[in-house]
Structure formats: C-alpha cells, structure tokens
Amino acid sequence: MKQTLILGNIITMDEKRPFAKAAVVKNGLFAYIGSAEEAKKLAGRDAKVLDYGENFIYPGFLESHCHGHLAGYRFIGQANLGKAGVITDYAKYREIIKEFIAANPQREFYVAAGWVENEEYVSKAYLDEICPDKPLLMQTGGGHSMLLNTKALQWAGIDAEYAKKAGYDLVHVDKNGEPDGYICEGPVFEIVPKLPATVEDIKEYLLAWQDFALSSGFTAVGDAGVEVVNRNALQAYHELEQEGKLKLRTYAYMYVTDNVDSPKAEIARIAATRAELSGEYFHIIGAKAFLDGVTEAHTGWQNQDYLDEPGYHGAERFNDHEKMVELIVEANKEGMSVHVHSEGGGATHFMLGCIEDAEKVTGNLDQRNVLAHLHFVTDEDIRRMGATKSVAAVPPLWLAAVKGFYEQEVSYVGKELADQAYPVKSFFDAGATVVFHSDYPVSPMMNVKYSFYTAEKRTYPKEVFGDATSPRGLKEVITREQSLRAMTINVARQFHQEHRLGSIEFGKIANMTVFDCDFLHDDIEKVAQANIVATIVDGEEVYNSKQ
C-alpha cells in the first residue's frame, strides 16, 4: 500500500482538530492526522517522507471563479498587453502588439489582451495602422469590451446592420453609422468563441494554466464559463484527463447565453455534456450566466441611474425573471447550481428574487447558487443572500481604492456607494457562504498571500502598487480564519465537495499547500512577504519551489 508521511505545522480547518504536526496519506487520502510520533509508527519505515520542518501546511487552496483556458491563452497564445504590469499607455500597447506580430508572422489572426481603457478614445484606425491585412482584436483585461481592426470587423460580420440591431451602446459607430471598431458585452461574448483554436492548441493552453495554478498554491478551481472562449475547451479538458495529464481539479460551469430561448433544453444540454465528458479532474457542476457588465465600463446593472447619465442604470444582460427561475429549477433537478456574473446592485437584486422564487418551487434551500463579484449590494440584499443560502463569491484583490478607478466609480455611482463596495464581513454576518475569487486572468492577479492581506487591510502593501491604492470600507474587514475558510472549505462547499476537499481530515483527498508563513498568526506585513514552498495533490508533490 502506497503511504506518505507528511511533517510540518499543519492547519487543518477541522474544528475538532485544528492543528497537527503530521499526517499519513494512503493511496491519495488522509489516513491519519495528529502527532509526529504516532504518524511515524503508522506510516512505517518504508513510507515516503515529505518533511517541511517549521513551515506551515494548509488544505490545498481553492479558487472559486476563474477562466483556465483564457489564462493559458494569454500566457502563450496572445499578445499580452499586461506582461509589464498594469499599463494604460496606448503607444506601449502598439509596441507590444507589433512585437508579437513580428514574432508570429505565420499567423492569419492576431489577438491582444490586457487593454486598460483610459480617457483617450481609439477606433479601428488605431489597429489598422499596425495591422491592415489580417484580423487583429484588442480585448480589455476585464474581457467585456474589445477593439477590432477593419479586417476583424469583416471577419466577425459586424457591419452597420449588425450595429443597429445590437444597439449603439454595445457597437459604437462613426458619423456615417458604420462600426468604428469598439464593441462591448453581448457582441464580445458572441464572437470570442469563434476565435480560431484547435483542441490541441487549447490543451497546450490548459497545461500552461495548470502549471501556473499549482505553482501558486491552488489545487482545485472553479472554471466560470468553461467554453466562453472556445467550445473546444470542454473536449480539451476531457482529453487531457483521459491522457492522465490533469492534476488541477476543475469544477466547471457551462456558459448560458443571455435570456436563452429554452432554459430547460439548456440544462439538458449541460447535463448530457456532464455525463459524456466529466471525470475526477474535470467535472461539470452547473450553468454560468452574465447578468450585467462592469461598473468601470459603464455596463454594471445598478439599482439607480448612473450619475453621469440620467435614465441609464447599466446593461441588463440576462434579465428575464421567468427564464432565470426556470434555469435554476431545471439545474436543481440535475443536482447542479447556477453561477452568475452579478457586478452591480441591480443585477444582484434581480438574481436573489429569482432564487427565492425557484426555492418555492424546488423546496431546496441548499442549492448553492453563486453570485460573483458583488461590487455594490444593499443591506436588504445582503440579508437575502444569507436567507437563500447563496454563495457570495467576493474578490479580495479588488477591495482597495485604486487611484483613477476609484474616482471613476465616484463619478458613476457617488462617493457613499463607492465607499461601501464589496461588503465581505456583512456577507459573513448574514450567514452566506463566502468564497474568495480572483477572476483570473480577467483580473491580473491570483495570489494567496495578498488575498489575506487585502481582506484585512482593504488595500495592498506599498511594495505592490506604491501609493496607487488606499484603504476603503474598513468596517468590512474580516478575520484571518474567515479568509482561510473563504479559500478552502467554503469553496469546497460551493463545489458540493466539502466531504472530499477543503480541510485536512481523515478520508479526504490529500491536497495541501505549504507556505513559510503562519497566515493565521504572523504579523500581516510578514504575510505579505510569504513564499510558497510546495503544492501537494493526492499526496504527491506537484510543485516544489526548490526544484
């Protein structure tokens, strides 16, 4: 029988035994957690030993909402405009894109990602000047808007008629009514899955993503809209598992289009795909829908009008109450949940109403539907989040007031509301299941230590962004233990995997992450300097910082 003895300072997340000095793993599962002396006796002389000394061992960290294919694509398949950090220099963007084109002359299609919009407005001419003969698309880091050159507009079929049908808020036009290259929201998500990529390409992207996630300390993730970028991602995940190459467990939500024609048929499609393609390391657990956009793009669905545009409260994407209720009810029949992008307060209010009505039909008060982002939420909707036992997926790395972005928020929704953003503690107090998410790579960072730091300080350490961020919402500070729960056992609960993942307990899968820092007790400034030592999946080291 294959056995491994693991030694170190173990923080278990098991309320009955919160700390231990050793664990024994048999066939990938925890067989004992307790003292080093007893563990050595049980493991025997022939056991493999992983001795981490005075370092700290945690349950493998879990990411509740990210985009694996997109991450790998940005690592190796696109011109990465954020490779030098967050920049807003349009001249620099063109330099990066030109370098990528020069290095990949054989490509018939180019994509750049990581664009951060500023007050300068650019149109298709900005890209035509550097790439007039092939399609070139430049997507924002957040993924909700995009600039296309003339060839890309032609490839996508975006013309004056398309713009008129989609609406000029989503497809901008010039004075002659012709698309000027800028699109956002629905049209973006319509064309992105059409970007050319083979299954083999996507497998390469997913393996690059896996390496990054494991080296960052994550052992399982939630892929929120697994085929948003390309429909072939499902097959790529499945083939990688069949080939024995997947180590990072992925719990996937399949993408549902806005106000889908037949929610019942859509859930049936997802359930059939789950039966065909799901396995141990790639498993489909629900549906993903977009309710709105994002406040910084002026498309977050707010409870009130934008201050700079009276009569407009944002983009309502999936806003059909009856269809969302049906989606939730049908998902419940299949033992699945619905995961929504809900950035503005209006979107969250809409979704909670749908969940309440669906619960009256199903009687299931523990479906674990997920609302992700939750930028602005009223006190009443915070209470409803707990009452419906919904999962509040909050972004710790977005909590700080960032110069430029904060002032933009204030101009859109007012200072009072901007200062109440991301009410993390209130969600805990209301009894919601709170999980952390990064939204990587839509957001540029997926990081354990900074998640602890920002959840406590509501800003970043100076060495990260200097004076560009400052604290906000300090009444929403949470404890270190709450942060740890939001990255371990609570996410396992979101995945309906709390019996297998999220804590170091007898019989659970032996996933662990080792850091050189005590996240629960060390000074918070020391936490910001923590280093990962190792990542363990199924009792085997899959990453070691010294190798």
Per-residue pLDDT tens over the stretch 456-471: 999 999 999 899 999 9
Instruction: Look at residue 496 in the predicted model and tell me its pLDDT.
Output: 98
Residue type at 467 in one-letter notation: D
CA distance 285 to 276: 13
Tokens of 528: 């910001």
CA angle (535 as vertex; 210, 437 as ends), nearest 5: 60
CA distance 473 to 423: 8
CA angle (191 as vertex; 371, 272 as ends), nearest 5: 60
CB-based contacts of 141, cutoff 8 Å, min separation 6: 81, 82, 113, 114, 115, 116, 441, 442, 443, 444
> Which one is predicted more confidently, 144 or 482?
482
Instruction: Look at residue 75 in the predicted model and tell me its pLDDT.
Output: 82
pLDDT beyond 70 at 1:
no
Percent of the chain scored above 90 by pLDDT? 83
Tokens of 422: 């991301």
Task: Supply the DSSP string of 217-241, one letter for each residue.
Answer: TEEEEEEETTTSS-TTHHHHHHHHH
Per-residue pLDDT tens over the stretch 102-115: 998 998 889 888 88
pLDDT band at 83 (very low <50, low <70, confident <90, very high): low
pLDDT beyond 90 at 196:
no
Chain-centroid distance of CA 141 in Å reads: 13
Per-residue pLDDT tens over the stretch 185-194: 889 888 887 8
Per-residue pLDDT tens over the stretch 480-516: 999 999 999 999 999 999 999 999 999 999 999 999 9
Task: Quote the DSSP letter at residue 297.
Answer: G
307-330 burial code (b ≥16 CB/10 A, e <16): eeeeeebbbbbbbbeebbbbbbbb
pLDDT beyond 70 at 87:
no
> Which one is predicted more confidently, 90 or 335?
335
Burial of 485 from C-beta contacts in 10 A (0-12 / 13-18 / 19+) = buried
Instruction: Look at residue 349 in the predicted model and tell me its pLDDT.
Output: 98
Instruction: Look at residue 456 in the predicted model and tell me its pLDDT.
Output: 98
Instruction: Look at residue 85 in the predicted model and tell me its pLDDT.
Output: 55
pLDDT beyond 70 at 543:
yes
Instruction: Look at residue 260 in the predicted model and tell me its pLDDT.
Output: 97
Per-residue pLDDT tens over the stretch 318-361: 999 999 999 999 999 999 999 999 999 999 999 999 999 999 99
> Where is average pLDDT lowest: 1-10, 116-125, 127-136, 240-249?
116-125
Instruction: Look at residue 40 in the predicted model and tell me its pLDDT.
Output: 95
What is the arithmetic mean of pLDDT over 375-384? Answer: 98
Tokens of 264: 């019942």
Per-residue pLDDT tens over the stretch 154-174: 999 999 999 999 999 899 999
What is the arithmetic mean of pLDDT over 295-303? Answer: 93
pLDDT band at 176 (very low <50, low <70, confident <90, very high): very high
pLDDT beyond 80 at 50:
yes
Instruction: Look at residue 254 in the predicted model and tell me its pLDDT.
Output: 98
Instruction: Look at residue 186 in the predicted model and tell me its pLDDT.
Output: 86
Instruction: Look at residue 80 in the predicted model and tell me its pLDDT.
Output: 76
Q: In 3D, which of 512, 500, 527 has the Cα closest to residue 24?
A: 512
- Directed axis angle between helix 199-215 and helix 68-76, to 10°? 100
Per-residue pLDDT tens over the stretch 60-70: 999 999 999 98
What is the arithmetic mean of pLDDT over 46-53? Answer: 96
Mean pLDDT estimate for the chain: 94
